């Protein structure tokens, strides 16, 4: 496996474009993106579990259920959520117009939206933008598409890998957006992945679900799960036999790596974040307990504010372990910042507060919690919670 340039258009048979269509006020900011597979593609996806799901989620679930897609049309600046029957019609119109311009079926078009909840989508502007995007589709358009889906993100998020399989080379590329309203729950933001591998629907869905569970479902910025979250993968390698055996396993590993890289980029770009934090839980009784502890620590507001203040208050970590619901015995727990041990047997080690603060002053921090009960472990990625996060979200709508 090796990393390559190109993002969502790195794989063979994909073109993309991004443009400003008028949803956002600034004319130099892109707010619409299109990714198109030049040949039929298998599609898989995971979606938000938020019961207030956006109209785009409702439409795109139907596309994924059918198992094939050719295009993804995505807008930023308007979530098209809680917009009633009109919002659903607008999402369907996005798919219809995109399909018409590409000469495909509306049932082959995944629709995605992100932005402010409650506003109706300016569908006329979107449809005019679709026509412009179709005329600009190219293999070099991946970065423009990645810009077209951003909201409070400070930078585009793209990655691609190439695999040398026994059946031939395979490329997997992707783009994502997300900086706030990030919390693990099946999918956590928008992410679109493309590959020129040939994978059947069931295998592709299985590989994606596993990849998401080990990446996007292991991150949190603020503990909020968006109404619009989705992760979509297109596989257009219809000229080859479906991957099986070792080749499929290698593909699944490549897909997981693409998802992991995109997920980490989201955490690194968290709204107002000053710290990127990896939480490693070891010694858990089982995988479920490891995840519960890591997730509880990573979403604790008290823990996250201590990170921002560079305060080595390990009591907040112990508190989170205890409220996680996982099996834990205080006299077995150990806690580390990088290699500095703060807790042994459930009590403080008498560590140097100065050393701890020096480690917490870094941009990237590793926290390890050893429960001492078993052999299961996991990783989770999070941020601190800063003044700027509050400011960004206090003024988000206005």
How many other CB atoms are found less than 10 A from the CB of residue 281?
28
Instruction: For the chain, give the percent of residues with pLDDT over 70.
Output: 96
pLDDT of 183 reads 58
As a whole number, mean pLDDT of residues 164-182 equals 87
The SS3 of residue 388 is helix
Of the listed ranges 159-163, 186-190, 212-216, the one predicted with least confidence: 186-190
CA atoms within 13 A on the CB side of 250: 19
pLDDT of 173 reads 97
Are residues 9 and 137 in contact, defined by beta-carbon separation less than 8 angstroms? no
User: Residue 255's pLDDT band (boundaries 50, 70, 90)?
Assistant: very high
Taking all residues of the chain, what is their mean pLDDT, rounded to a whole number? 93
User: Residue 239's pLDDT band (boundaries 50, 70, 90)?
Assistant: low
C-alpha span between 396 and 398 (Å, rounded): 6
Where do the domains of the chain lie, and which CATH numbers do they carry? 2-268 (3.60.70.12), 276-394 (3.10.20.340)
Q: What is the pTM of this model?
A: 0.92
Q: Is 349 a catalytic residue?
A: no
Residue among 171, 188, 299, 378 flagged as catalytic: 188
C-alpha span between 65 and 24 (Å, rounded): 32
pLDDT of 272 reads 83
Strand ranges, E, within the chain: 2-3, 14-19, 32-47, 68-76, 109-114, 157-165, 168-177, 190-195, 219-220, 230-235, 276-284, 334-337, 340-344, 347-348, 364-370, 376-383
DSSP letters, 21-43, are: -SSSS-TTS--EEEEEEEEEEEE
Q: Sort strands 157-165 and 2-3 into parallel, antiparallel or unpaired.
A: antiparallel
Are residues 243 and 205 in contact, defined by beta-carbon separation less than 8 angstroms? no
pLDDT of 86 reads 98
As a whole number, mean pLDDT of residues 240-253 equals 93
Per residue in 283-341, pLDDT (tens digit) is 999 999 999 999 999 999 999 999 999 999 999 999 999 999 999 999 999 999 999 99
pLDDT of 392 reads 79
User: Residue 185's pLDDT band (boundaries 50, 70, 90)?
Assistant: low
């Amino acid at each position: 496996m090796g990393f390559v340039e190109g993002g969502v258009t790195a794989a063979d048979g994909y073109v993309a474009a991004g443009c400003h269509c008028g949803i956002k006020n600034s004319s130099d900011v892109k707010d619409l993106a299109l990714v198109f597979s030049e040949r039929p593609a298998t599609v898989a996806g995971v979606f938000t579990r938020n019961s207030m799901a956006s109209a785009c989620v409702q439409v795109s679930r139907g596309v994924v259920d059918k198992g094939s897609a050719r295009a993804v049309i995505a807008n930023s600046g308007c979530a098209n959520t809680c917009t009633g029957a009109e919002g659903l019609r607008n999402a369907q119109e996005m798919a219809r117009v995109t399909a018409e311009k590409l000469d495909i079926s509306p049932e082959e078009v995944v629709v995605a939206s992100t932005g402010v909840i409650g506003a109706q989508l300016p569908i006329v502007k979107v449809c005019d933008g679709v026509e412009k995007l179709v005329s600009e589709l190219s293999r070099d358009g991946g970065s423009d598409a990645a810009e077209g889906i951003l909201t409070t993100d400070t930078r585009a998020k793209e990655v691609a890998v190439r695999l040398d399989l026994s059946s031939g080379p395979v490329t997997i590329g992707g783009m994502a957006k997300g900086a706030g309203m990030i919390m693990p729950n099946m999918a956590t933001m928008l992410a679109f992945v493309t590959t020129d591998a040939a994978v059947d629907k069931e295998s592709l869905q299985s590989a994606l679900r596993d990849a998401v569970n080990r990446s996007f479902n292991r991150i949190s910025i603020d503990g909020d799960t968006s109404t619009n979250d989705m992760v979509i993968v297109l596989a257009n390698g219809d000229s080859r036999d479906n991957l099986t055996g070792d080749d499929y396993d290698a593909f699944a590993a490549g897909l997981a790596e693409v998802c992991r890289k995109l997920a980490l980029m989201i955490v690194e770009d968290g709204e107002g974040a000053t710290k990127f934090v990896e939480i490693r839980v070891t010694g858990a009784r089982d995988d479920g307990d490891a995840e519960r502890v890591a997730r509880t620590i990573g979403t604790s507001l008290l823990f996250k504010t201590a990170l921002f203040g560079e305060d080595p208050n390990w009591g907040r970590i112990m508190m989170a372990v205890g409220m996680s619901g996982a099996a834990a015995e205080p006299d077995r727990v150990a806690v580390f910042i990088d290699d500095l041990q703060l807790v042994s047997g459930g009590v403080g080690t008498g560590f140097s507060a100065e050393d701890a603060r020096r480690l917490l002053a870094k941009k990237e921090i590793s926290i390890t919690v050893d429960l001492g009960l078993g052999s299961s472990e996991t990783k989770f990625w999070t941020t601190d919670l800063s003044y700027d996060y509050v400011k960004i979200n206090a003024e988000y709508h206005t």
